[in-house]
Amino acid sequence: MKKIVIIGSGNVAEALALSLAEQGMAPVQIYARNVESGSALAARCGAEYAGEPAQLAPADLYLIAVSDRAIASVSGSLDFGDAIVAHTSGSTPVDALSSKIRHRAVLYPLQSFTKGRSVDFREIPLMIEGCSAKALECVREVAGALSDRVLEVDSHRRAAVHLAAVFVSNFVNYMYTIGEELLADTGMDFSLLKPLILETARKAVESSSPRRVQTGPAVRNDFQTKNLHCEMLVDKPDLKNIYINLSNQIWETSKKISRK
C-alpha cells in the first residue's frame, strides 16, 4: 500500500486526509506549519504530525494542499527523494512544482470544501496530471480509490475548469449574499430564499443545459420589471450596475441562442 503524506492543514488537506482515511488509505503524516490545525487533523485521521523539514516522513506520494502561491516555495524547500509530489490546485500548472522534483503531478478535486462539512468524494470529479508515467499512474490509483470520476486533464484545461468553478460557485455564492442583503433591508430573513436556491441548482443540474431553464425579466426583456428593479436599487449603485450588466448579458445570450 502506498504511503501518503499530506502537506497542509486547510480545507482541501482536511477533506483529502479524512477521505483517504475512510478508504483505508490514511496518510502516515500531516506536515503543516500551523501546529494547532495540523496536529488536530493528524489526530483525526490517525497520522503523525510534523512541522519541521527534517521531520518529513518518507512516503510514496506527497499531496501538497497549501495556498496556490505557496506551492512553488513549499515544493522547493522540502526533500522528497524520488517520491511522487502532487499539488491539488485548479489554477496552478503542474510545473509550478519545483523542477528539482522528478515525479511531478496534480490531483485537483473539483469541489468547494469547508472545514467541518463532509462531502461525498465518490461523486467529485478528480482531475489528474502527471509529468512522468510513474507520477500519473500513482495519482490515478489514489484518485480512483477516492472517486468514481477521475479524469486526466492538462494544466491548461484544468485552469479553464477552475475559472468555470469561480463563476458557478464563488460568484453564485455572492449572488446569494446580495439576496440576503436585499431581504435584510426590508426586515426579512435569508431563509425565505432557501427553497428557491435549492430548486434553481437542482433544475440546472437535472436539465440538459442551464440555458434552457433561464427564466426571469431579463430573458423576457421585460422592461417594466427591469425598470422597477433599477428604481429599487437607486441607493445601491454597485448592485444596480450588476443588475443591468447581467440582465443585458442574459438578453444578448438568449438572442444568440434563438438565432441558432
Residues 142-181 binding a copy of itself (CB under 8 A) are: 149, 151, 153, 156-157, 159-161, 163-180
227 binds a copy of itself (CB under 8 A): no
Binders of a copy of itself among 94-153, rule CB under 8 A?
Answer: 110-112, 114, 117, 119, 123-125, 149, 151, 153
Edge-first strand order for the sheet with 84-87 is: 48-50, 29-31, 4-7, 61-64, 84-87, 103-109, 126-130, 150-152
Binders of a copy of itself among 27-56, rule CB under 8 A?
Answer: none
The count of chain residues that interact with a copy of itself, using the rule CB under 8 A, is: 86
193 binds a copy of itself (CB under 8 A): yes
- Of the pair 57, 72, the CB lying nearest a copy of itself is at 72
C-alpha cell at 115: 472545514
221 binds a copy of itself (CB under 8 A): no
Direct distance between the N- and C-terminal alpha carbons of the chain, in angstroms, rounded to an integer: 54
Nearest distance from C-beta of residue 109 to a copy of itself, angstroms: 10
Among the candidate windows 15-23, 32-40, 100-108, 243-251, which touches a copy of itself by CB under 8 A?
Answer: 243-251
| Closest to 17 in 3D by CA, of 121, 103, 128 | 121
Pick one of 34, 53, 73, 198: the residue that binds a copy of itself (CB under 8 A): 198
